[in-house]
Amino acid sequence: MPTTFRIKRFNPESESPQPYFQEYELETEQSDTVLDALIKIRESVDESLALRCSCRGAICGSCGMRINGHATLACKTKVVSLESPDGTVQVEPMNNMPVIKDLVTDMGGFWDKIRQVQPWLQPAGPKPDAEYIASPESMKHLTGVMGCIMCGACVSDCAALEVDHQFIGPAALAKAYRFVADPRDGASDSRLLALNTPGGMWDCTRCMECIEVCPKEVGAMDRIMDLRAKGIDQGMPSTCGSRHAEVFADLIEHKGRLDEPLLAMRTFGLKNIGQMLSFLPMTLRALVRGKLPRSGPLHRAIPGIDRIRRLFRHTRNLP
Amino acid sequence: MTTAYTFDILVLGAGLAGMRAALAAHEGGAKVAILTKVHPVRSHSNAAQGGINAALTDRGDTWEDHAFDTVKGSDFLGDQDAIEILAEEAGQDILALEHMGVIFNRNDEGRLGTRRFGGQKRARTFFVSDFTGQAILHVLYEQILKANLPVFEEWFATSVVRDDDGRCAGVVAFEIRSGQFAFVKAKVVIIAAGGLGRVFEPSTNAMICTGDGMAIAYRAGTPLMDMEMVQYHPTTLKGKGLLITEAARGEGAYLINKDGERFMEQYAPNMMELASRDVISRAEQIEINEGRGINGCVLLDCRHLGKRVIHERLGQIFEEAKTFANIDLTEEPIPIRPGMHYSMGGIKTDVDGRCWDPQGGWKGVPGLFAAGETACLSLHGGNRLGANSLLDTVVFGRRTGSCAAAYAQSVEEPRVNNSVSDKDHNMVQEFLKRKAHADTVAAIRLDLGVTMNKHLGVFRDEEGMEEAQGLLPVFRDRWNRVAIQDKGRVFNTSLVQALELGMMLDCAQTIVRGAMIRTESRGAHFRTDCIQRDDENWLKHILMYHNPKGLPRMDYLPVRITQWKPQVRVY
Amino acid sequence: MKYAFFPGCVSKGGCPELYQSVMQVYPQLGIELEEMTTASCTGAGVLQEKDLRLGDILNAHTLALAEQQGLPIMTICSTCQGVMSQANHRLKSNPEYLAEINRVLAEEGLTYRGTTRVKHFIWILLEDIGEETILQHVKHPLTGLRAAPFYGCYLQRPREALGFDETPSRAKSLETVIDLLGAEVVDFPGKTRCCGLPLLTINQPNSLKMVAHHTSDAKEYGADLMVTPCPLCHLNLDGLQSKAAKQNGMEIDLPILHLPQLLGLAMGLEPKGLGLSRNLVATESVLEKIGISV
């Protein structure tokens, strides 16, 4: 069927290089992927279209790009599966990375962040003569995160990275988890400590884009949550991030429902009085407009709170 | 103005063999750099799915058993001294990988688990679900990061350079991102640039597998060996030819024809679906040719394995079947057929990766080394066993790196003029200047691939091969005149593909020539006009030397036999 | 059609105008609500950071209560919807895990069998009440009003838990409703992106940058207002908008309405009753645009 591809071009060698969109009309088959179409364009219409591709089978990670606004692998995306109101397929390079040419991005920054998490096994103690002994249960879950092919889709669509390039990003954090969760690695404390800093694991905004766009179901955000839980569990120095989670849980246990002002105050703590005070104007305006609860600035607990508290207690007793 | 760099050792290619060699060379005290046309983790090693073989003696297995399986698998063309080393050192290399962090599958005792694989009676294939290649590749890259080795990422090598004494002196290459040429001087070059799958269409191989390493070594004067030995993998998807791992059969999947029969009973009654790949591919092709196939395929049936086994141990191919063939492996069988997959042939090396014989038995290029699929020791002879390629890369990657480091310490820096890169730079300029006409690189590549698949596939005959041979000069001539539209310097993938096609043409010539010369059937090379194996005349390797003026010049090397005399090969 | 109504924490806390406007609109639409007063907060994804299983237990409790009443749950918050859907999905797809959670619920004499459906008010509007009925109640079509939809992450991802495969129309629910109410949908890049609230107390500059980007983008694309089905998003986009504007050197002033507020206006209800005076970014311009005297 005839399909229009609207592709973002950029040629750094042109006189005044600016990105622009170019449209191509193509006859596509039922089974065609976007990569098939891009190759058809290169081979029959416009050889100058630059893109990275290799395995065609969603294992090498070369062909990451944004298709209809979301990052994915071109080789895995069937043209027929894409819905757009006017039948056009929009193809752009991945976001959050500089563009070298057309659909080819500079992944240097991506790799710098991977390097940051010291992505190699750091076993504790002497090497055994044979293999390290590790139960299947303790190793099985690593298959998910080891499946990451470093395609960059998660980094492309990360909302936190979009506003802050200092954030270490979902791919690096998932890679860090791979080692923290490996029973053979002896450095999980120092790894978590390093991620417990600004730009680290607490800067994820929990938007789930990385989970949604990952072509290998690595579930980066879930791994970031795992890292956070481990950090809290292993008694990392508290940050606003970890306090936020702890205070939240504490408030629910005692009131059953969120108490926003108390949550904010206790998250900030005394060290961040400046930040807390910066919210004063907004809080006053809210007060004036009647945006605080009718029951008063400090919420009452919900009816039946005892049961909620018991559920917390039961959970603490679980293995 | 070209830039120049100097290293002791330059490794060309960053797949398993390349990175393993680089690490070993680095540990051996050499100043090492890697040059690769794609980022290391994009290398085609990541497509290897099923596993890696090793005989661990504490499991009651013996390396001799593994070695014999490999010798038989090779249809007795494999050099047994090299095979003995492969089998004997396998265990230590698997453990080294595990210590580096590879997340091999575990059994209930927490030790490394195994699965069965083709051509072997014992289960000795270690694995990571069904993405073993990727799992090992990423761990080796982690080690490269740890060692902080310099990597020329997305650089394309155009020639191997030799000094006036004929010794290897480095490579000429250009940075794909800028088009800038450079001469990378090195006492040693280790070529580990992978296979040549794209010479055939279709193929399981990635688009980058264009035989670059083999071609530039060949042009530099070192011979290629056993090029006619091209493996067709029994289970590839129709259309793009994507691979479905042998591990499925290792876990117990069946091959059935349109009548629902497990036809391997007729061809390999003992090993059935786990016979050697060449035997199975021929069996499937016969079923298809004789009308017992469905739409040019037979069926791989995994249903009886159950959901748990499929999701835990074959998860990647489950996804692949769903995405690329619209099939749920737990509910239906999947149509597959033989597809070009691996080159047993390659750059001739000895057991330490040297592309020359220090004893002078055959001529090569001193200072040049090779490892991995690019090389041919020969380990795999006429047919490679599944899960032996991953093993080949790590065992001989390591050995080659170590030997290369020792060699580098024993020689002086080569003396070569930096203007050595001018020739290739000018060649590229000439290419870019050509005026466009109707022909394209893509068209020539397709014609070449279809021709090779048609006449140099599972079944070959004189007539077909002659037709292929007749077309090669035509393709060459077209390539000499073809123009490319993209005249830019920055990331000119059209230029890269044009140069790759030149490499593929060189490789194709050696494949066709070898196939025509070898008048017997052995391993993957099966001729319907000489169906018998002829040990009397053909228990030898065919070496091919580059001849710019005509057909390759040939030589022979006898197969090295240690323990196992050739015998009748049945499965 | 009767629903167990889960108002969530924020509609009873920092966004009382949401609760207020829901109370105004629902009686007219032919649905009955029974408020779940003893159900706890869903955890909002934050509690789950500390302990995922604890979050699942609290949500299983809520789901079990509704199951006891034989009622589907109605939420009015994208975050409540998303978090509960994810918990429900985990429980329903893993019988072993469900059994483990039920062992804890059993201590309170409860069991969750996995039958409760959780639906956001916007899905109830489109799927249960139906477009025809909605149109019948549109007494004051919002002609000429240009509204930018802002879903909130939890109402868009992950697709599987939210039932997008069974009901693909959910992906565009907010745009469909805006259209039904007679307003024009302003399609802008940030409509399915993050408002930044989860980062507000952790990395304020980043959080406010997200607010500034999305609201200013919507304005640039011609929006008169932004409408959202999530009060947490509302807190950031409305409550923190002026701070975000200042911090990023912009002037924005884009009114942010809760979905039931926009619906109420189209139904011809009084602005005061819909709590519009409580929104921190003034909403008078919206009223003027649709010809309602302030």
With b for 16 or more beta-carbon neighbours within 10 A and e for fewer, the B218-231 pattern comes to bbbbbbbbbbbbbb
Q: Are the C-beta atoms of residues B338 and B272 closer than 8 Å to each other?
A: no
Q: What is the residue-level pLDDT of chain A in tens, covering all 319 positions?
A: 899 999 999 999 999 899 999 999 999 998 899 999 999 999 999 999 999 999 999 999 999 999 999 999 999 999 998 977 678 999 999 999 999 999 999 999 999 999 999 999 999 889 999 999 999 999 988 999 999 999 999 999 999 999 999 999 999 999 999 999 999 999 999 999 999 999 999 999 999 999 999 999 999 999 999 999 999 888 888 888 889 999 999 999 999 998 888 888 888 887 778 888 888 888 888 888 888 765 555 668 899 999 999 999 999 988 8
- Predicted local confidence at residue A298, as pLDDT: 62
- Contacts of residue B293, defined as CB under 8 A and 6 or more positions apart, other chains included, come to B257, B258, B284, B287, B337
Neighboring chain A residues of C233 at a CB cutoff of 8 Å: none
In whole angstroms, give the CA distance from residue C137 to residue C266.
Answer: 8
pLDDT 10s digits, B298-326: 999 999 999 999 998 898 889 999 988 98
Q: Do C57 and A258 touch (CB under 8 A)?
A: no
One-letter amino acid at C201 equals: T
Q: Are the C-beta atoms of residues B336 and B300 closer than 8 Å to each other?
A: yes
In whole angstroms, give the CA distance from residue B496 to residue B492.
Answer: 7
Determine contact: A208 vs chain C, CB below 8 A. Answer: yes
Question: Under CATH, which architecture does the C2-120 domain have?
Answer: Up-down Bundle (1.20)
pLDDT 10s digits, B4-36: 899 999 999 999 999 999 999 999 999 999 999
One-letter amino acid at C39 equals: A
How many cross-chain Cβ pairs, A to C, lie less than 8 Å apart?
187
Q: Are the C-beta atoms of residues C2 and C117 closer than 8 Å to each other?
A: no
pLDDT 10s digits, C154-194: 999 999 999 999 999 999 999 999 999 999 999 999 999 99
Q: Is the pLDDT of residue C198 over 80?
A: yes
Neighboring chain A residues of B46 at a CB cutoff of 8 Å: 55, 59-60, 149
Tell me the average pLDDT of chain C.
Answer: 96
Which chains does A contact via 3+ CB–CB distances below 8 A?
B, C
Tell me the average pLDDT of chain B.
Answer: 95
- Contacts of residue C249, defined as CB under 8 A and 6 or more positions apart, other chains included, come to none
Q: Are the C-beta atoms of residues B224 and B249 closer than 8 Å to each other?
A: no
Most B CBs within 10 A among A13, A49, A55, A122, hence the mutation to make, goes to: A55
CATH class in words for C131-289: alpha beta
In whole angstroms, give the CA distance from residue B485 to residue B493.
Answer: 11
CATH 1.10.1060.10 fits A108-233, yes or no: yes
pLDDT 10s digits, B171-229: 999 999 999 999 999 999 999 999 999 999 999 999 999 999 999 999 999 999 999 99
From the list A58, A136, A185, the residue facing B108 with the nearest CB is: A136
- Predicted local confidence at residue C294, as pLDDT: 66
* Segments making up each domain of chain A, as ranges: 2-105, 108-233, 240-316
- Predicted local confidence at residue A277, as pLDDT: 84
Three-class secondary structure of residue B21 per DSSP:
helix
Determine contact: A80 vs chain C, CB below 8 A. Answer: no
Determine contact: A239 vs chain C, CB below 8 A. Answer: yes
Neighboring chain B residues of A146 at a CB cutoff of 8 Å: 103, 128, 131, 135, 138
pLDDT 10s digits, B500-510: 999 999 999 99
Q: Do B484 and A47 touch (CB under 8 A)?
A: yes
Q: Strand locations in B117-228, DSSP E?
A: 125-126, 151-153, 155-162, 168-175, 181-191, 224-225
Residue of chain A nearest C203, judged by CA positions: A203
- How many CB atoms lie under 10 A from the CB of residue A227? 26
Residue of chain C nearest A240, judged by CA positions: C202
Q: Strand locations in B57-122, DSSP E?
A: 114-115
**Cα-based angle C47, C51, C53 (whole degrees, multiple of 5):** 110
Residue written as tokens 């991620």? A195
For chain C positions 211-270, those within 8 Å of chain A (CB to CB) are: 213, 239-240, 242-243
In whole angstroms, give the CA distance from residue B266 to residue B99.
Answer: 44
- How close, in Å, is residue C247 to chain A by CA atoms? 12
Domains detected in chain B? 231-341 (3.90.700.10)
Neighboring chain A residues of B243 at a CB cutoff of 8 Å: 57
Residue B122 pLDDT grade (very low, low, confident, very high; cuts 50, 70, 90): confident
Most C CBs within 10 A among A258, A284, A307, hence the mutation to make, goes to: A258
Could you tell me the end-to-end alpha-carbon distance of chain B, in angstroms, rounded to an integer? Answer: 60
Residue of chain A nearest B325, judged by CA positions: A31
Q: Do B99 and A123 touch (CB under 8 A)?
A: yes
- Predicted local confidence at residue B58, as pLDDT: 77
User: What's the complex ipTM?
Assistant: 0.94
Phi, then psi, of C230 in degrees rounded to 5 = -130, 120
One-letter amino acid at B104 equals: F
* Segments making up each domain of chain C, as ranges: 2-120, 131-289
Please choose, from the candidates A240, A246, A249, the residue with its C-alpha nearest in 3D space to the C-alpha of residue A267. Answer: A240
Using only the alpha carbons of chain A, give its radius of gyration: 24
For range B88-102, the mean pLDDT: 96
Q: Are the C-beta atoms of residues C163 and C173 closer than 8 Å to each other?
A: no
Of the candidates B20, B277, B478, B513, the residue annotated as catalytic is: B277
**Cα-based angle C194, C197, C198 (whole degrees, multiple of 5):** 95
In whole angstroms, give the CA distance from residue A291 to residue A296.
Answer: 11
Please choose, from the candidates B278, B343, B298, B349, the residue with its C-alpha nearest in 3D space to the C-alpha of residue B522. Answer: B278
pLDDT 10s digits, C267-283: 999 999 999 999 999 99
Please choose, from the candidates B389, B266, B380, B281, the residue with its C-alpha nearest in 3D space to the C-alpha of residue B340. Answer: B281
Sign of the four-CA dihedral A262, A267, A269, A272: negative
**Residue ranges of the alpha helices (H) in C26-70?**
47-50, 52-69
- How close, in Å, is residue A26 to chain C by CA atoms? 27
Phi, then psi, of B139 in degrees rounded to 5 = -70, -40
Q: Is the pLDDT of residue C113 over 80?
A: yes
Tell me the average pLDDT of chain A.
Answer: 92
- Predicted local confidence at residue C284, as pLDDT: 94
CATH 3.10.20.30 fits A2-105, yes or no: yes
Tell me C26's DSSP state: G
Determine contact: C165 vs chain A, CB below 8 A. Answer: no
Q: Do C46 and A248 touch (CB under 8 A)?
A: yes
In whole angstroms, give the CA distance from residue C244 to residue A278.
Answer: 12
Q: Do B320 and A143 touch (CB under 8 A)?
A: no
Residue of chain A nearest C50, judged by CA positions: A229
Helix pair angle (B493-517, B422-433), 10° resolution: 100
In whole angstroms, give the CA distance from residue B263 to residue B245.
Answer: 19
Q: Do A211 and C157 touch (CB under 8 A)?
A: yes
Determine contact: A293 vs chain C, CB below 8 A. Answer: yes
What DSSP string describes B23-66? HHHHHTT--EEEEESS-GGGSGGGG--S-EE---GGGT--HHHH
Residue of chain A nearest B43, judged by CA positions: A60
Neighboring chain B residues of A12 at a CB cutoff of 8 Å: 490
Please choose, from the candidates B342, B239, B254, the residue with its C-alpha nearest in 3D space to the C-alpha of residue B296. Answer: B239
Is B106 labeled as catalytic in the residue annotation?
A: no
- How many CB atoms lie under 10 A from the CB of residue A275? 15
Helix pair angle (C52-69, C95-106), 10° resolution: 80
Residue C50 pLDDT grade (very low, low, confident, very high; cuts 50, 70, 90): confident
pLDDT 10s digits, C128-163: 999 999 999 999 999 999 999 999 999 999 999 999
Count how many Cα atoms sit within 13 Å of the Cα of residue C105 in the half-sphere of its side chain: 22
Q: Is the pLDDT of residue B121 over 90?
A: no
| Separation in Å, CA B249 to CA A21, B303, C278 | 48, 12, 67
Q: Do A286 and C41 touch (CB under 8 A)?
A: no
Q: Is the pLDDT of residue B535 over 90?
A: yes
- How many CB atoms lie under 10 A from the CB of residue C277? 14
In whole angstroms, give the CA distance from residue C95 to residue C103.
Answer: 12
Q: What is the dihedral of CA B311, B312, B313, B317, to 10 degrees?
A: 30
Phi, then psi, of B243 in degrees rounded to 5 = -80, 140
Could you tell me the end-to-end alpha-carbon distance of chain C, in angstroms, rounded to an integer? Answer: 35
Q: Do A121 and B101 touch (CB under 8 A)?
A: yes
For chain C positions 113-152, those within 8 Å of chain A (CB to CB) are: none
For chain C positions 21-50, those within 8 Å of chain A (CB to CB) are: 37-41, 43-50
Determine contact: A274 vs chain C, CB below 8 A. Answer: no
Neighboring chain A residues of C158 at a CB cutoff of 8 Å: 208, 211-212
Tell me B295's DSSP state: T
Q: Strand locations in C126-282, DSSP E?
A: 146-149, 184-185, 225-228, 256-258
Task: Note whether C touches B: 3 CB pairs or more under 8 A.
Answer: no
Neighboring chain C residues of A232 at a CB cutoff of 8 Å: 49-50
- Predicted local confidence at residue A282, as pLDDT: 85
- Contacts of residue C132, defined as CB under 8 A and 6 or more positions apart, other chains included, come to none
